[in-house]
Copies of this chain bind each other. A is one copy, B any other.
Amino acid sequence: MIKDSKIPAPTIERLALYSRPLENLLKSGTDLISSEKLAYLCDVSSAQVRKDLAYFGEFGIRGVGYNTEALLNEIKNILATNREWTLCIVGMGNLGSAIVENENFKKMGYKFVAAFDVDPEKIGKTLPCGLIIESLSKAGKLVQSLHIEIGVVTTPPSGAQKVSDLLMDAGVKAILNFTSFQVSAPACCVVENVDFTMKLENLAYHLGRSQSFIS
Protein backbone atom coordinates (compact mmCIF):
# COMPACT_ATOMS: atom_id res chain seq x y z
CA MET A 1 0.00 0.00 0.00
CA ILE A 2 2.85 2.39 0.80
CA LYS A 3 3.90 4.26 -2.34
CA ASP A 4 6.95 6.07 -1.07
CA SER A 5 9.31 5.26 1.77
CA LYS A 6 10.19 8.94 2.18
CA ILE A 7 7.09 10.12 3.92
CA PRO A 8 7.61 13.57 5.48
CA ALA A 9 7.59 13.69 9.28
CA PRO A 10 4.76 16.30 9.39
CA THR A 11 2.56 13.86 7.41
CA ILE A 12 3.24 11.14 9.98
CA GLU A 13 2.30 13.57 12.74
CA ARG A 14 -0.91 14.50 10.95
CA LEU A 15 -1.87 10.83 10.48
CA ALA A 16 -1.83 10.50 14.27
CA LEU A 17 -3.95 13.66 14.41
CA TYR A 18 -6.46 12.26 11.91
CA SER A 19 -6.84 9.05 13.89
CA ARG A 20 -8.31 10.90 16.91
CA PRO A 21 -11.67 12.02 15.41
CA LEU A 22 -11.85 8.80 13.34
CA GLU A 23 -11.89 6.78 16.59
CA ASN A 24 -14.79 8.90 17.86
CA LEU A 25 -16.69 8.73 14.56
CA LEU A 26 -16.36 4.97 14.47
CA LYS A 27 -17.68 4.71 18.02
CA SER A 28 -20.67 6.89 17.12
CA GLY A 29 -21.43 4.72 14.09
CA THR A 30 -20.41 7.11 11.30
CA ASP A 31 -19.40 4.85 8.40
CA LEU A 32 -18.27 7.47 5.89
CA ILE A 33 -16.28 10.68 6.22
CA SER A 34 -15.34 13.29 3.63
CA SER A 35 -11.89 14.87 3.50
CA GLU A 36 -13.62 18.22 4.20
CA LYS A 37 -15.19 16.92 7.41
CA LEU A 38 -11.97 15.26 8.57
CA ALA A 39 -10.05 18.45 7.75
CA TYR A 40 -12.52 20.54 9.73
CA LEU A 41 -12.32 18.21 12.76
CA CYS A 42 -8.50 18.34 12.71
CA ASP A 43 -8.15 22.03 11.86
CA VAL A 44 -6.12 21.48 8.67
CA SER A 45 -7.08 22.11 5.03
CA SER A 46 -8.93 19.41 3.08
CA ALA A 47 -6.24 19.61 0.38
CA GLN A 48 -3.71 18.72 3.07
CA VAL A 49 -5.78 15.72 4.19
CA ARG A 50 -6.04 14.41 0.61
CA LYS A 51 -2.33 15.02 -0.02
CA ASP A 52 -1.30 13.22 3.17
CA LEU A 53 -3.49 10.21 2.53
CA ALA A 54 -2.35 10.00 -1.08
CA TYR A 55 1.13 9.02 0.15
CA PHE A 56 -0.34 5.70 1.11
CA GLY A 57 -2.36 4.90 -1.98
CA GLU A 58 -6.00 5.46 -2.82
CA PHE A 59 -8.29 5.29 0.21
CA GLY A 60 -11.24 7.40 -0.79
CA ILE A 61 -14.09 7.21 -3.27
CA ARG A 62 -14.42 10.44 -5.23
CA GLY A 63 -17.51 12.42 -4.21
CA VAL A 64 -18.33 9.97 -1.41
CA GLY A 65 -15.48 10.07 1.05
CA TYR A 66 -13.55 7.55 3.08
CA ASN A 67 -14.80 4.48 4.87
CA THR A 68 -14.15 5.44 8.50
CA GLU A 69 -13.13 2.00 9.73
CA ALA A 70 -10.92 1.15 6.74
CA LEU A 71 -9.18 4.51 6.92
CA LEU A 72 -8.54 4.21 10.66
CA ASN A 73 -7.21 0.67 10.28
CA GLU A 74 -4.92 1.73 7.47
CA ILE A 75 -3.56 4.65 9.52
CA LYS A 76 -2.96 2.32 12.48
CA ASN A 77 -1.16 -0.07 10.15
CA ILE A 78 1.06 2.70 8.81
CA LEU A 79 1.82 4.10 12.25
CA ALA A 80 2.34 0.58 13.65
CA THR A 81 -0.08 1.42 16.44
CA ASN A 82 -2.13 -1.73 15.83
CA ARG A 83 0.08 -3.56 18.32
CA GLU A 84 1.26 -3.13 21.90
CA TRP A 85 4.54 -1.42 22.76
CA THR A 86 6.44 -1.84 26.02
CA LEU A 87 7.75 1.32 27.67
CA CYS A 88 9.74 2.35 30.70
CA ILE A 89 10.00 5.78 32.25
CA VAL A 90 12.90 7.40 34.12
CA GLY A 91 12.32 10.31 36.51
CA MET A 92 9.26 9.99 38.74
CA GLY A 93 8.61 13.62 39.63
CA ASN A 94 5.27 15.30 38.88
CA LEU A 95 5.69 14.99 35.12
CA GLY A 96 6.73 11.33 35.21
CA SER A 97 3.83 10.53 37.52
CA ALA A 98 1.39 12.31 35.19
CA ILE A 99 2.63 10.46 32.14
CA VAL A 100 2.74 6.97 33.61
CA GLU A 101 -0.90 7.29 34.72
CA ASN A 102 -2.12 8.85 31.45
CA GLU A 103 -5.15 6.82 30.35
CA ASN A 104 -4.54 7.56 26.68
CA PHE A 105 -1.20 5.80 26.57
CA LYS A 106 -2.79 2.60 27.84
CA LYS A 107 -5.78 2.90 25.52
CA MET A 108 -3.49 3.29 22.52
CA GLY A 109 -1.34 0.27 23.29
CA TYR A 110 1.60 1.99 25.01
CA LYS A 111 2.19 -0.05 28.14
CA PHE A 112 4.55 1.07 30.89
CA VAL A 113 6.20 -1.98 32.43
CA ALA A 114 8.87 -0.23 34.53
CA ALA A 115 9.46 3.11 36.27
CA PHE A 116 12.88 4.27 37.51
CA ASP A 117 14.32 6.98 39.70
CA VAL A 118 17.56 7.66 41.57
CA ASP A 119 15.93 9.18 44.67
CA PRO A 120 16.06 6.67 47.58
CA GLU A 121 12.85 8.21 48.94
CA LYS A 122 10.99 7.30 45.74
CA ILE A 123 12.51 3.87 45.06
CA GLY A 124 10.26 1.08 46.34
CA LYS A 125 7.07 3.16 46.29
CA THR A 126 4.04 1.71 44.49
CA LEU A 127 2.44 3.97 41.88
CA PRO A 128 -1.37 4.16 41.44
CA CYS A 129 -0.97 2.17 38.20
CA GLY A 130 0.56 -0.68 40.21
CA LEU A 131 4.21 -0.32 39.16
CA ILE A 132 6.88 -0.16 41.85
CA ILE A 133 9.52 2.54 41.32
CA GLU A 134 12.85 0.78 40.75
CA SER A 135 16.39 2.04 41.18
CA LEU A 136 17.89 3.31 37.91
CA SER A 137 20.78 0.89 38.53
CA LYS A 138 18.39 -1.95 37.63
CA ALA A 139 17.45 -0.41 34.26
CA GLY A 140 19.97 -2.38 32.20
CA LYS A 141 18.70 -5.72 33.44
CA LEU A 142 14.99 -4.86 33.31
CA VAL A 143 15.11 -3.37 29.80
CA GLN A 144 16.37 -6.73 28.61
CA SER A 145 14.20 -9.06 30.68
CA LEU A 146 10.99 -7.08 30.03
CA HIS A 147 11.83 -6.45 26.34
CA ILE A 148 11.37 -2.71 26.74
CA GLU A 149 11.28 -0.95 23.35
CA ILE A 150 10.69 2.71 24.20
CA GLY A 151 12.17 4.79 27.03
CA VAL A 152 10.45 7.94 28.29
CA VAL A 153 12.77 10.46 29.96
CA THR A 154 11.34 12.88 32.54
CA THR A 155 14.52 13.54 34.54
CA PRO A 156 16.06 16.98 35.10
CA PRO A 157 17.61 18.20 31.79
CA SER A 158 21.17 17.66 33.06
CA GLY A 159 20.62 13.90 33.28
CA ALA A 160 18.72 13.39 30.02
CA GLN A 161 21.59 12.34 27.74
CA LYS A 162 23.19 10.03 30.30
CA VAL A 163 19.88 8.30 31.04
CA SER A 164 19.05 8.01 27.33
CA ASP A 165 22.48 6.49 26.59
CA LEU A 166 22.02 4.02 29.44
CA LEU A 167 18.61 2.95 28.11
CA MET A 168 19.81 2.68 24.49
CA ASP A 169 22.87 0.69 25.56
CA ALA A 170 20.50 -1.68 27.36
CA GLY A 171 18.50 -2.24 24.18
CA VAL A 172 15.80 0.44 24.05
CA LYS A 173 15.21 1.43 20.42
CA ALA A 174 13.50 4.78 20.91
CA ILE A 175 13.53 7.66 23.40
CA LEU A 176 10.73 10.10 24.11
CA ASN A 177 12.52 12.97 25.84
CA PHE A 178 10.48 15.47 27.85
CA THR A 179 13.42 17.48 29.18
CA SER A 180 14.62 20.75 27.68
CA PHE A 181 17.94 19.10 26.77
CA GLN A 182 18.09 18.01 23.10
CA VAL A 183 19.04 14.33 23.33
CA SER A 184 21.05 12.92 20.43
CA ALA A 185 20.96 9.27 19.44
CA PRO A 186 23.04 6.81 17.44
CA ALA A 187 21.72 5.83 14.00
CA CYS A 188 20.15 2.64 15.35
CA CYS A 189 17.76 4.56 17.61
CA VAL A 190 15.07 7.21 17.28
CA VAL A 191 14.63 10.19 19.59
CA GLU A 192 11.62 12.48 19.85
CA ASN A 193 12.29 15.58 21.91
CA VAL A 194 9.12 17.07 23.43
CA ASP A 195 9.64 20.66 24.46
CA PHE A 196 6.64 22.35 26.07
CA THR A 197 8.10 25.83 25.82
CA MET A 198 8.45 25.47 22.05
CA LYS A 199 4.68 25.20 21.71
CA LEU A 200 4.41 28.38 23.75
CA GLU A 201 6.77 30.16 21.40
CA ASN A 202 4.47 29.19 18.57
CA LEU A 203 1.59 30.83 20.43
CA ALA A 204 3.67 33.89 21.29
CA TYR A 205 4.54 34.30 17.61
CA HIS A 206 0.87 34.35 16.61
CA LEU A 207 -0.09 36.61 19.51
CA GLY A 208 2.78 38.98 18.81
CA ARG A 209 1.70 39.29 15.20
CA SER A 210 -2.01 39.75 15.94
CA GLN A 211 -1.20 42.48 18.48
CA SER A 212 1.06 44.33 16.08
CA PHE A 213 -1.75 44.22 13.47
CA ILE A 214 -4.13 45.83 15.95
CA SER A 215 -1.82 48.60 17.14
Interchain nearest-CB distance for A18 vs B (Å) = 11
Residues of B within 8 A of A207 (CB): 80, 85, 149-150, 173-174, 190
Complex interface: stretch among A28-36, A95-103, A139-147, A159-167 = A95-103
Copies of this chain assembled into the complex = 2
Q: Mark A86-106, 1 if CB is under 8 A from B, else 0.
A: 000000011101110110110
Interchain nearest-CB distance for A181 vs B (Å) = 9
Known A192-B199, A205-B78; contact A182-B150, beta-carbon cutoff 8 A: no
Residue of B nearest to A178 (CB): B196
Q: Of B43, B79, B97, B210, which contacts A204 at CB under 8 A?
A: B79
Bound together, the chains give a CA A203 to CA B85 distance in angstroms of 11
Interchain nearest-CB distance for A136 vs B (Å) = 19
Bound together, the chains give a CA A113 to CA B81 distance in angstroms of 39
A135 sits at the interface (CB 8 A) = no
Known A173-B210, A196-B99, A196-B194; contact A42-B182, beta-carbon cutoff 8 A: yes
Q: Mark A174-213, 1 if CB is under 8 A from B, else 0.
A: 1010001010100000101011111111111111111000
Determine if B95 and A208 form an interchain contact, defined as CB atoms under 8 angstroms apart.
no
Determine if B81 and A204 form an interchain contact, defined as CB atoms under 8 angstroms apart.
yes
Determine if A150 and B190 form an interchain contact, defined as CB atoms under 8 angstroms apart.
no
Interchain nearest-CB distance for A106 vs B (Å) = 10
A26 sits at the interface (CB 8 A) = no
A54 sits at the interface (CB 8 A) = no
A124 sits at the interface (CB 8 A) = no
Complex interface: stretch among A7-15, A65-73, A114-122 = A7-15
Determine if A17 and B198 form an interchain contact, defined as CB atoms under 8 angstroms apart.
yes
Determine if B105 and A202 form an interchain contact, defined as CB atoms under 8 angstroms apart.
no
A-B contact pairs, 8 of them (CB 8 A): A9-B202, A12-B201, A13-B198, A102-B196, A173-B207, A192-B200, A192-B203, A194-B199
